[in-house]
Amino acid sequence: FDDPQGLHEKTEYLLREWVNMYHSPQAGRDSFKAFNAFVQQMHTQGILKTDDLITRFFRLCTEMCVDLCYRALGEAGQSTTMIRAKCFYTLDAFVRLIALLVKHSGDTNTVTKINLLNKVLGIMAGVLLQDHEVRYTEFQQLPYHRIFIMLFIELNAPEPILEAINFQVLTAFCHVFHILRPAKAPGFAFAWLELISHRVFIGRLLALTPLQKGWGFYAQLLVDLFKFLGPFLRNADMTKPMQLQYKGTLRVLLVLLHDFPEFLCEYHYAFCDVIPPNCIQMRNLILSAFPRTMRLPDPFTVNLVVEHLPDINKAPRILTNIVALIQPASFKKDLDSYLKTRSPITFLSELKSNLQANPQGSRYDIVLINALVLYVGTQAIPQLQNKGVSMSTIAPSPHMDIFQNLAVNLDTEGRYLFLTAIANQLRYPNSHTHYFSCALLYLFRQANDQTIQEQITKVLLERLIVNRPHPWGLLITFIELIKNPTFKFWDHEFVRCAPEIEKLFENVARSCY
Amino acid sequence: TGIDLTTLGLNLNSPENLYSMFQSPFAETACRPQDIDYHVPAEYLTN
Amino acid sequence: PLGPVPLAKEQLYQVAMLEACLQHLPHPSDSERLRYFLPRNPCPTPSYYPTASFPHVDAVEIYQRCGTETLFFIFYYMEGTKAQYLAAKALKKQSWRFHTKYMMWFQRHEEPKQITEEFEQGTYIYFDYEKWGQKKKEGFTFEYRYLE
């Protein structure tokens, strides 16, 4: 509904008052003196009377700040430094007001504080999305970026009041950043990536918040980013802005790989689910992560016996609930039944069509294929504990029946997605890496069709020829494939299908042993 | 073959964590020490 | 073997928006507090200038080896940074004390003539920011409400 008569003028007056008070030397430490005086003015002006008025006040203030920025940005001949100084003069003051209101509202009642913060962030998001829609390519991210980051920094200052509500503050910001994810506000995508990769943001969510309670939030934001990039990476037609965004994403992932490898380890499955299958290097980067406590044996060690590695029987943590991803329930029921009793016998013949029930563009349900592969593998591993996982123990079994069926019956595209799902499990030494490495090599050896062997080789090779890093499990699998005579790798025609391919194999082989 | 990730301006061999000096996903270099806000007593902020 | 997937209308819209905002990329300084005296755009310096920060830049020992003026220079021009904080620590180690009321630094030069709970009177040295040097003052009253 329309704002009450006079509220706009009143708000404008108050905002100007506050900006002046904020910048005056008498503002006091953290502007507290100014704040006390200003709250009185808000009272006398009746702004704090109802929740609705407070909401309107913040929305109007936000809009006024934004308009001021658009005017400044529109001024010709101004240096960007001057423009920013002019914008930040008001924006920073407004942020300080919000921070002080959040800190001091409701006295010791943290719920009041967080409710106010959520309200304000919600208003910001609303104003931004409307502006984004209305102005279209004229949209400017500067005011919003500045408000969000300065408010985040203000509310994460090391103060007792703030420490008490820090996790809720982080939750509120992650929530609003999810709402403003690049797919929803592409005009804000660069600022968004700046926000979620700011050192204070990463520090709070991934390092300082106890019990890794912030990890799930951060993973969600990365999934948002990958989903946005997905369609563009999928076609590898990178326009300049997309290249910039992609490179920025690689930088952030490199920071995560270096500082929080366990985070990438635990959420790799969810990330691979939304990273396009042909986005090799970025996915390699994630799959290369390994726990910092782990010492990785050199994959090129001669006579490396993987089965004897201490970690090889430990299951990695996978935080995604893959069972929930296996739909429909009837399919899951049949799958479990087949794994247990190899019935219904129609299961295998219907498998392919079950995997194609995806209406979203691609003919295969990639999420289902990924979930199926990992689920079957994780069902198989416990049953092999006594005998130990190896090429000779993983079959015969209903699990490998399923894998062999997929290798034989899927078409090239489907088989590529299936083999990709397996290769995504070739990571650091753990029971999944070991099982799927054996499974892949078993499929290669058992294949009576060279097309399958060639495609297995391609899936591995495409991951090896890109720049580093390369996952440990990928390296040991490929080394085993080309070294172990039982695979007769070098006898295959496709190794010599073209001089440059032959040369490529020889180069890779030479680097392997 | 993708990008040589060692050319993205991050010191991947650093024994320190990278995120505390991370400047921007679009910047080629890390933050300089003086770029980073540090919480000092308010009295110090005399400018 | 997957083949390209044609971009949907939504993605074409996203590309258009992304193209537009390429014209006003965020600047790293947008994510930091404003400091008028510290330009964020590194000014070009001769190639032989050291660019990487030297080791132990975060240790107060480095600052303790700096001269007094240098420490005050860092304190005055690099406010809000770790360098300022460490310079202040080094100054305190040289028995300088920061007095909030006068926004100045004092160094007691000799035993005070008069000591009470509230203040002490004696000869002090204070740092004159205008002349970038130290000044001695007789009979100066030093109030205890200083920032330790």
The pLDDT > 70 percentage for chain A reads 98
Nearest to B2 among A193, A197, A280 (CB): A280
- Residue C142 pairs with which residues in a beta bridge? C120
Nearest to A413 among C2, C17, C36 (CB): C2
Contacts of A138 (CB under 8 A, 6+ apart): C20
| 3-class SS string, A92-153 | HHHHHHHHHHHHHCCCCCHHHHHHHHHHHHHHHHHHHHHHHHHHHHHCCCHHHHHHHHHHHH
Q: Structure tokens of A307?
A: 């089965």
What's the average model confidence in pLDDT over C51-71?
Answer: 84
CA distances, A56 to each of A42, A47, A52, A62, C74 (Å): 13, 9, 6, 10, 45
Nearest residue to C1 via CA among B7, A420, A200: A420
- Please answer whether residues A254 and A211 qualify as being in contact, where contact means their C-beta atoms are separated by less than 8 angstroms: no
pLDDT tens track for A375-419: 999 999 999 988 899 989 999 999 999 999 999 999 999 999 999
CA distances, A487 to each of A137, A484, A498 (Å): 57, 6, 21
In the predicted model, is pLDDT for residue C148 greater than 60? Answer: no
A174 dihedral zone (left: phi>0; alpha: psi -120 to 50; beta): alpha
> Helices marked H in A155-277 — which ranges?
160-179, 189-196, 199-202, 215-235, 240-259, 261-274
Q: Structure tokens of A347?
A: 């299961």
Residue C76: band (very low, low, confident or very high) from pLDDT cuts 50, 70, 90: confident
CA–CA gap between residue C147 and residue C98 (Å, rounded): 6
Q: Please provide the average confidence, as pLDDT, over all residues in chain A.
A: 93
- Taking CB atoms and an 8 Å cutoff, what residues of chain A touch C17? 132, 136-137, 139, 186-187, 189
CA distances, A285 to each of A254, A255, A370, A383 (Å): 8, 11, 19, 31
CB contact under 8 A, C5 and A234: yes
pLDDT tens track for A229-251: 999 998 877 899 999 999 999 99
CB contact under 8 A, C81 and B34: yes
- Give B27 to chain C, closest Cα distance, Å: 7
Nearest to A281 among B2, B10, B24 (CB): B2
A110 in contact with chain C, both atoms CB, cutoff 8 A:
no
- Taking CB atoms and an 8 Å cutoff, what residues of chain A touch C2? 234, 277-278, 362, 413, 416-417
CA–CA gap between residue A176 and residue A198 (Å, rounded): 16
CB contact under 8 A, B43 and C98: yes
Residue A358: band (very low, low, confident or very high) from pLDDT cuts 50, 70, 90: low
pLDDT tens track for A287-309: 999 999 998 999 888 888 888 89
Q: Structure tokens of A186?
A: 């592409």
> Helices marked H in chain C — which ranges?
9-21, 60-64, 68-77, 82-93
Quick one: pLDDT at residue A236?
76
Say what the ipTM of the complex is: 0.88
CA–CA gap between residue A44 and residue A77 (Å, rounded): 42
Report CA dihedral (A199, A202, A207, A213) to the nearest 10 degrees: 160
Quick one: pLDDT at residue A357?
64
CB contact under 8 A, A186 and C5: no
Quick one: pLDDT at residue C145?
61
Total-model pTM: 0.92
Bond into A485 cis (ω within 30): no
The Cα angle at residue A185 between residues A181 and A186, in degrees rounded to 5: 100
C7 in contact with chain A, both atoms CB, cutoff 8 A:
yes
CA–CA gap between residue A281 and residue A227 (Å, rounded): 16
- Residue that is written with structure tokens 């240790």 in the block: C59
What's the average model confidence in pLDDT over A19-40?
Answer: 91
